[in-house]
Amino acid sequence: MTSNIKFYQEVIRVDGSKNHFIGVPKYITKKTGDRAGSFDTIEDARAYSTEVQARVARYNINLRSSGRLNTTSAPITVSHLVDFYRSTEEYTNLKPRSIVSYELMLKTSLNAILPGSNMILGDMEVGSLTKDTVRIFKKHIKDTFSHHRQLHSVKVMRLVWTVGEGFDKVIGNPWRNPKIKLRPKRMVVWTPSQVDRFIAKAEQSNLPSMGTFVLMCFAMCQRPGDIRQLQWKHLSSPTKKHERGIFEFTQEKTFTEVYIPLSPALQERLDNFTSQIPHWREDNPDEYILRYEVTGKPYTQWDYAKILRKICRAAGLPDHLRMGDLRRTGTTNLANFGCTEDQLMSITGHKNREEISTYIKRSADLAKNAITQAYGV
- Residue 289 CA to residue 245 CA, distance in Å, equals 14
> Helix 192-204 crosses helix 301-314 at what angle (to 10 degrees)?
100
Question: Which pLDDT score is estimated for 245?
Answer: 85
DSSP for 68-124, written as a single string: ---TTTS--BHHHHHHHHHTSHHHHTS-HHHHHHHHHHHHHHHTPEETTTTEEGGGS
Question: What residues contact residue 277 under an 8 Å CB cut-off, 6+ apart?
Answer: none
Task: Give the containing element (helix H, strand E) for 293.
Answer: none
Question: Which pLDDT score is estimated for 335?
Answer: 87
Ordered domains of the chain (ranges, CATH): 7-66 (no CATH), 78-166 (no CATH), 192-375 (1.10.443.10)
Question: Which pLDDT score is estimated for 71?
Answer: 40
Strands 113-114 and 37-39: unpaired
Q: Average pLDDT for consecutive 10-residue bins of the chain (377 residues)?
A: 47 60 68 76 77 69 48 65 88 82 87 79 87 83 72 88 84 75 73 95 95 96 93 80 80 85 90 71 83 90 87 95 93 87 88 73 58 53
Question: Which pLDDT score is estimated for 318?
Answer: 94
What residues does 249 pair with on adjacent strands? 258
Question: Which pLDDT score is estimated for 6?
Answer: 44
- Residue 361 CA to residue 356 CA, distance in Å, equals 10
